[in-house]
Amino acid sequence: MAADPGSHDATTPAAPVTWPGGYQAAATLGFDMDAEDVALTVDPESRHRLSAMSHQAYGPLTGVPRVLDLLERYEVRATFFCPGYTAERYPDLLRRVRDAGHEIAHHGYLHEAIAGMSRDQEAAVLDRGLEALDRVAGVRPVGYRAPMWETTYASAELLLDRGFAYDSSLMDSDLPYQLAERPGEGARSIVEIPVSWALDDWEQFAFVPELFGPGVIEDPAKSLAMWTAELTEAHRHGSCFTLTVHPFLSGRLGRLRALETLIQTMLTLPGLWLAPARDLAEHVRSLDLTPRVFPQPEIPA
Amino acid sequence: MAADPGSHDATTPAAPVTWPGGYQAAATLGFDMDAEDVALTVDPESRHRLSAMSHQAYGPLTGVPRVLDLLERYEVRATFFCPGYTAERYPDLLRRVRDAGHEIAHHGYLHEAIAGMSRDQEAAVLDRGLEALDRVAGVRPVGYRAPMWETTYASAELLLDRGFAYDSSLMDSDLPYQLAERPGEGARSIVEIPVSWALDDWEQFAFVPELFGPGVIEDPAKSLAMWTAELTEAHRHGSCFTLTVHPFLSGRLGRLRALETLIQTMLTLPGLWLAPARDLAEHVRSLDLTPRVFPQPEIPA
Amino acid sequence: MAADPGSHDATTPAAPVTWPGGYQAAATLGFDMDAEDVALTVDPESRHRLSAMSHQAYGPLTGVPRVLDLLERYEVRATFFCPGYTAERYPDLLRRVRDAGHEIAHHGYLHEAIAGMSRDQEAAVLDRGLEALDRVAGVRPVGYRAPMWETTYASAELLLDRGFAYDSSLMDSDLPYQLAERPGEGARSIVEIPVSWALDDWEQFAFVPELFGPGVIEDPAKSLAMWTAELTEAHRHGSCFTLTVHPFLSGRLGRLRALETLIQTMLTLPGLWLAPARDLAEHVRSLDLTPRVFPQPEIPA
Amino acid sequence: MAADPGSHDATTPAAPVTWPGGYQAAATLGFDMDAEDVALTVDPESRHRLSAMSHQAYGPLTGVPRVLDLLERYEVRATFFCPGYTAERYPDLLRRVRDAGHEIAHHGYLHEAIAGMSRDQEAAVLDRGLEALDRVAGVRPVGYRAPMWETTYASAELLLDRGFAYDSSLMDSDLPYQLAERPGEGARSIVEIPVSWALDDWEQFAFVPELFGPGVIEDPAKSLAMWTAELTEAHRHGSCFTLTVHPFLSGRLGRLRALETLIQTMLTLPGLWLAPARDLAEHVRSLDLTPRVFPQPEIPA
């Protein structure tokens, strides 16, 4: 007979979420401030590749300032998920993001892939990222997005221990929910704001030889059409549209123009609450939802 | 001189199929209920990757319920191909699928790739999947779809031994046919309902780093256009349109909207018989077609 | 100082070609009858994978008959490049192609990748393919297309020794030309009808896990648009449009419909000579062009 | 505590650039004359693959002459980045490019990937490429584009030692700038004209089995749309549109037609300065910009 694969109906779907008065759906823009770090993590030897480094530096040097201008023009506040290494290498930029009123959230230190790390290693990375954001910009983030969206079954507890209010790395729902740190009585919970590979510019645009991507670079018109369709449906369903873009990719001119068009659409959708992830998390916390549990799957013998 | 590569005109094309009175063509919707299992099979270590697991859990938690609502709204019955592991982990969901009047079919236990397995191993996987569907939902499936569409030259016999009425994993025709379990006299046969990589959402949408996919995520508008063209032609040719979608992929909002549009098109095509694979198989069985044989190719010295 | 990289202006561009009276440009349709062989060559163990074999068998079983019907309907003659193994496994089909008046050309025996083979091995493959086509259909082909378009610097000589009139595997021009078997005096030459990766359905549609393709399956509307644009330009430039399609891929319904549309366009372009490659080769031979030489590049120390 | 990741705000964004009187933005067309060399560098054994060699030879034999005709028709001058090996193998062609008034720039000798090379090796490649261009066409280039856009932290100094006026291999900006050869006092600087993977035809079209590319070949209509959108934005932003095309890819008929359309658009955009990279570099040099520094990232312990 088969081993029990974890639990019976181990997990339950996310409950519907009601939005604050007058809003029928939500959207949040997240800018992952990956720069040299994400390349260095994939291959430390890439530090000798000046062109690859410059490709990554496009984010902080050209992309982020342009994104800030765009957001200011439309009076939109967003969330910037910043690796500690980016913060230390571009401190003035991080302070500029902060001073513009945007949320700054945690995104690892060197954009480490957590998969395969021990709990202690994961904790050390969290602390190192916190330290960098604090030292550089005096920021104590309440939000976390795992680099490569790689979390472990220990992540929620580690985040709660450090006072985080939300995580944004899971993919089982279109709705925010309360995630229990573990199965069982007395478990604390954290707000989860789920993401989606289809709502990430990485799969559309990322390419650096021997580092990233499949080598197919898409037309921004394609991602705009895809994301607009997804946004329209999220609006219709009362869901939450969570977009992830990387200034080293989407800061390029044609792509930023497409992003501007998407923002214009957002602003015309009636009853769409466009807010930093922090605000969504705070609202979700206030709903006092039953926390959900993800029992780790066992592999049957 | 060359070795004989198996046989002379070893295989014969599928014969034309007539459809029940009033119908000129057929279509069937198959939902592969792959969840954590398909990731665990590719890499057992993925069980430690919570985000990857949550990506797979989107299927049972969010995608399948949404698919059920969609099918109910259009009064369409479909076939759900369910790995035993998914059945055990989400038993209430499987029962909900059953109670909604849809067909439940066999899709392996842990979504095992059968390629390279011995006959005994293949048999054991079949039995384990049967046991799970029976225990969880009291279902004895008559249909089978091989995980990854990987069957062996032993599969038909193993399926017939277990009372299956049809398989849906081969790709040599657009028409259902009778597949002989082996060449030679006295061989039994099973109905085959062929599939196609072009009519599968996996190649359009699947991406999880180090697990699935090429890293290119397509616009649902593209797959909708491609599938609609294929459907239109199948309708015109009196063929059978067999679509395979995965709720962990196509359950996402924009993609489900595209699927809804496709269903609307199906319902407006005159004389299109949209039915679960089980019904198609029963009809094909009644046609008493000459069974076809696939002699295994030899590789010449 | 650098080594001489082969020769000074080692190769010269193809000379313009004049077409027979009344024609301003040419086009030829080539159907590569790859079936199980191309999979067996890539991985001999694939012979145990029934589904993969059936995917390949779609070509001879479903695709080729449908292609023959299409060509007959439009009264178009084409060239079928047939591996010896396919000929032996589907002898009646090959004879049907022959009897419909189409050209049958050589395409290896087991669709062998010639890269890395010795001259003797390459010769043996050529002979084995010739023997198969002769034995099965009494055909002595005058045309050759290398599997995977992989030829060596010995290929032209080997082909000429066997009485071939043309090869269709190179990619340096849009125009047919005379290819010298080697540099130097007294060299014989063969007609070359060049091909292009962009005019091949493989890169648009091929996918079998662990065997072929990148895993991205394109919409036939995309390849149709791309090929139509290329055809239009070839027509305008007096060039030669050489399309390569595989019935196991393009024989599928939606793709065949796109191919039909392309053929309709071909038939409406004024002064377009649509003919089997054999006829083009015969015409080019009659032009008495100066043979071209491809000195093999040396890699400098 | 974290190691210092290189420097605090180690790099500063490129300053805005003013264009010569009457111009509001700039554009430059670069043709990388990669031929057999780029294949030989990736795999020396590819020299035995005649078809692969012929695929590369399409550039000098068919593509470049066609590009020259196109540029002459529209009276546009461009920059041809030529590997030394191509120069030696196709000397007459290089002289024809020179005599047509286009700029010839340095693109390595055998299209060597510099990543991982020592400083001496990098210097030797530069010298060998210079020697080839001089010997073949009497050209002393002032511009350099690194093969594969791979430069090192030593490149700028090596280029300045050899009298180069600009490099065109980095990716951190859309604007040309002055790049310091190193941090610190007394450093010389070179003009940098940045490039972008999205403005390169390689990712759209390159495919040779076991050599290049992901195996997805795009429709020129897609790249044209993408590049036109990028051009339009560059024009609006007063930026510099730097397109990189390879005649062995974009010299094909349908793609060249798309390039022609793009050039027509360029010529209708008011105040767009379309010039060889050399002219842009000369202008940027005259602006006396503060040189920028890229401190090499350290990887923290």
- The lowest-confidence range among A176-180, B272-276, C114-118 is C114-118
How far apart are the C-alpha atoms of C112 and B190, rounded to whole Å?
35
Place of tokens 């078809």: D51
pLDDT at C3 over 80: no
Whole-number pLDDT of residue B9: 58
* Cβ atoms within 10 Å, residue A205: 24
Q: Is the separation of the CB atoms in A105 and A149 below 8 Å? A: no
C214 confidence band (pLDDT: 50, 70, 90)? confident
Q: What are the pLDDT digits (tens) for B128-164?
A: 999 999 999 999 999 999 999 999 999 999 999 999 9
CATH of the domain at A78: 3.20.20.370
Residue C52 in domain:
yes
Query: pLDDT-based confidence at C10, cuts 50/70/90?
Result: low
| Residues C226-259 pLDDT 10s | 999 999 999 999 999 999 999 999 999 999 999 9
Distance from C-alpha of C279 to C-alpha of C79, rounded to nearest angstrom: 10
> C181: nearest CA in chain D?
D50
Cβ B194–C54 below 8 Å, yes or no?
yes
- Helix axes A220-237 and D220-237, enclosed angle (nearest 10): 90
The predicted pLDDT at position B116 comes to 86
What pLDDT digit, counting tens, does each position of B30-58 carry? 999 999 999 999 999 999 999 999 999 99
Tens of pLDDT, residues D71-94: 999 999 999 999 999 999 999 999
- The residue that leads in pLDDT, C203 or D16, is C203
Query: Which residue in the set C6, C171, C222 is minimally distant from D55, CB to CB?
Result: C171
Inside any domain, residue B157: yes
What's the average model confidence in pLDDT over B152-181? 97
Mean pLDDT of D95-112: 98
Share of chain D above pLDDT 70, in %: 97
Of D173, D226, D299, the CB nearest to A254: D226
Q: How far apart are the first and last CA of chain B?
A: 10
Q: Do A197 and B216 touch (CB under 8 A)?
A: no
Set of chain D residues whose Cβ sits within 8 Å of the Cβ of A48 = 115-116, 152-153, 296
In a domain, A16, yes or no: no
Contact B294 C54 (CB under 8 A): yes
- Give residue A158's pLDDT band: very low, low, confident or very high (50, 70, 90): very high
On the question of pLDDT at D64 being above 70, the answer is: yes
Asked if C45 and B14 come within 8 Å (Cβ–Cβ), the reply is no
Q: What is the pLDDT of residues C154-163, one digit of tens each?
A: 999 999 999 9
Residue-wise pLDDT tens digits, B95-124: 999 999 999 999 999 999 898 899 999 999
What's the rounded mean pLDDT across residues D283-298?
94
Q: Which residues of D touch C116 (CB under 8 A)?
A: 45, 48
Collapsed DSSP state (helix, strand, coil) of residue C111: coil
Stretch D193-210: mean pLDDT: 96
Is D10 domain-assigned?
A: no
Q: Is the pLDDT of residue D213 over 90?
A: no
Percentage of residues of chain A with pLDDT beyond 90: 89
Confidence at residue C6, expressed as pLDDT on a 0 to 100 scale = 44
When comparing pLDDT for B222 and A4, which is higher?
A: B222
Is the complex ipTM higher than 0.85?
yes
pLDDT in tens, B72-94: 999 999 999 999 999 999 999 99
Q: Is residue D12 part of a domain?
A: no
Closest residue in B to C248 (Cα–Cα): B172
D255 to chain C: closest CA residue: C230
Candidate from A45, A85, A253 with C-beta closest to D174: A253
Cα dihedral B230→B233→B235→B241 (10° resolution)? -30
| H-only helix segments in chain D | 36-42, 50-58, 64-73, 84-89, 91-99, 119-137, 155-161, 202-205, 220-237, 247-250, 253-268, 277-286
Computed over every residue of chain B, the mean pLDDT equals 94
- Go through chain C and tell me how many residues it has: 301
Q: Which residue has the higher pLDDT, C272 or A184?
A: C272
Question: Under DSSP, is residue B207 helix (H, G, I), strand (E, B) or coil?
Answer: coil
Inspect the interface and report whether the beta carbons of A217 and D194 lie closer than 8 Å.
Answer: no
Express each pLDDT in C173-196 by its tens digit: 999 999 999 988 899 999 999 999
- The answer, yes or no, to whether residue D300 has pLDDT greater than 90, is no
**DSSP single-letter state for residue D138:** -
Q: Tell me, what's the pLDDT at D6?
A: 43
Q: What is the pLDDT of residue D14?
A: 81
Domain that holds residue B149: 22-286
pLDDT category, B59, cuts 50, 70, 90? Answer: very high
Residue B210, chain C, CB below 8 Å: the answer is: no
Neighbours of chain D (3+ CB pairs under 8 A): A, C
pLDDT classification of C12: cutoffs 50, 70, 90: confident
- Looking at A134-143, B49-58, C210-219, which range is the least confident one? C210-219
Q: How confident is the model at residue A9 (pLDDT cuts 50, 70, 90)?
A: low
D148/C contact by beta carbon, under 8 A: no
pLDDT at C115 (0 to 100): 87
C54 touches chain B (CB under 8 A): yes
Q: Given pLDDT bands bounded at 50, 70 and 90, which one contains residue D1? A: very low
Environment class of D277 (CB within 10 Å of its CB; exposed 0-12, middle 13-18, buried 19+): buried
- Determine contact: A201 vs chain D, CB below 8 A: no
Task: Provide the number of CB pairs (under 8 Å) joining chain A to chain D.
Answer: 142
Is A219 in CB contact (< 8 Å) with chain D?
Answer: yes
Could you read off the pLDDT of C44-59 as tens digits, one per residue? 999 999 999 999 999 9
Compare CB distances from A216 to B93, B109, B216 and report the shortest one's residue.
Answer: B216
Minimum Cα–Cα distance from B296: chain C residue: C47
Contact D14, D175 (CB under 8 A): yes
Amino acid A288: pLDDT? 95
Residue A82: count other Cβ atoms within 10 Å of its Cβ. 34
Section A141-149 average pLDDT? 98
Which residues from chain B sit within 8 angstroms of residue A169, using beta carbons?
A: 51
The pLDDT confidence band at residue B10, using thresholds 50, 70 and 90, is low
- Chains near C (3 or more Cβ pairs under 8 Å): B, D
Q: Which of C55, C58, C253 sits opposite B230 (nearest CB)?
A: C253
Average pLDDT on C215-231 reads 97
Give the residue-averaged pLDDT of A121-128. Answer: 98
pLDDT at C301 over 90: no
In this structure, is residue C166 part of a structural domain? yes
Rounded to whole angstroms, the Cα distance separating D80 from D94 reads 9
Residues with Cβ within 8 Å of A62's Cβ and at least 6 positions away in sequence, in order, are A247, A251, D13, D14, D172, D173, D174
Number of domains chain B contains: 1
Query: Rounded distance, CA C228 to CA D53, Å?
Result: 27
Mean pLDDT of B239-268: 98
Closest alpha carbon to D238 in D210, D271, D276: D271
pLDDT value at position C9? 58
- With CA atoms as reference, report the closest residue to A150 among B208, B35, B52: B52
Task: Evaluate whether residue C200 is within a structural domain.
Answer: yes
Question: Average model confidence (pLDDT) for chain D?
Answer: 94
- Among A260-274, B142-156, C8-22, C29-43, the range scoring the smallest mean pLDDT is C8-22
Q: Judge whether C198 lies within some domain.
A: yes
Is a pLDDT exceeding 60 seen at residue A7?
Answer: no
Q: Is the pLDDT of residue C4 over 80?
A: no
pLDDT classification of B301: cutoffs 50, 70, 90 = confident
Q: Which residues of D72-105 are buried (b: 16+ CB within 10 A; e: fewer)?
A: eeeebbbbbbbbbbbbbbbbebbbebbeeebbbb
Angle subtended by helix axes D91-99 and D64-73, to nearest 10: 10
